[in-house]
Structure 1
Amino acid sequence: MVHPASGFRGTRAGVIAGSGSTLQGNDSPSRPLPRIRVSYWCSKGHETQPVFLKMPEDQIPRTWDCRRCGGPATRDGQAAAPEDLFDDGSKSHLEYVKERRSGQDAEAVLAGALEKLRARGVLPDQLLRDT
């Protein structure tokens, strides 16, 4: 439950400005909040028309997911640039290591690790010296 004193307030479709609010103190007649319907087209020609509250043009999303095929849809009807579905913006451990170490550093770390394994007798000498 959201505390009434917090700044979190939301709207939903069909909300009327000033309805049911005792905090505003004015008894103006209820009127719907201004809304706009925006058209988006995917590369297959499907049209999606979500409804937004009236807002500045730069705050309206440029792309939207197509309701029929799930592909990216744009407002101008041009094909959206395909995004890598597996790229979540995070880096792997190997990518972080490659940023911190050069190829020569990596070779030195590998040689040290192999020497430790040879000293402990974990790996045979012949197997590692051939590589």
Structure 2
Amino acid sequence: MVHATSGFRGTRAGVTAGSAPRNETDSSAGESLPRIRVPYWCAKGHETRLVFVKLAEDQIPGQWDCPKCGLVAVREPGEATLERPDDEVFKSHLDYVKERRSSQDAEIVLTGALERLRARRVLSDELLGDT
């Protein structure tokens, strides 16, 4: 899910107010930016706690994708639903790969990769059970 606002609003972790990145100048210069921990819950009960730079309440995202199951997680426990909006279907990495390649393309890529490994003598035919 792409979020309209970023929790750090253009800052990098470890950056302090009024100073350059720590590896460029004295790390004791400036003050640390205030941070808050925001909990999110999905419909399956998974809790995710994210750290944001302290922003106005309306700038903190109201929902976040659960890293454990991919469902939408919200800031109030018990308010999340098991359904995703129709325009927002959760896809795994494999789903995206299958969109880009057909089964025939996958076979061609796999055959080429195995041939290169055999040519470098990394894989033998006996290990693959091809004989």
- Structure possessing the higher radius of gyration over alpha carbons: 1
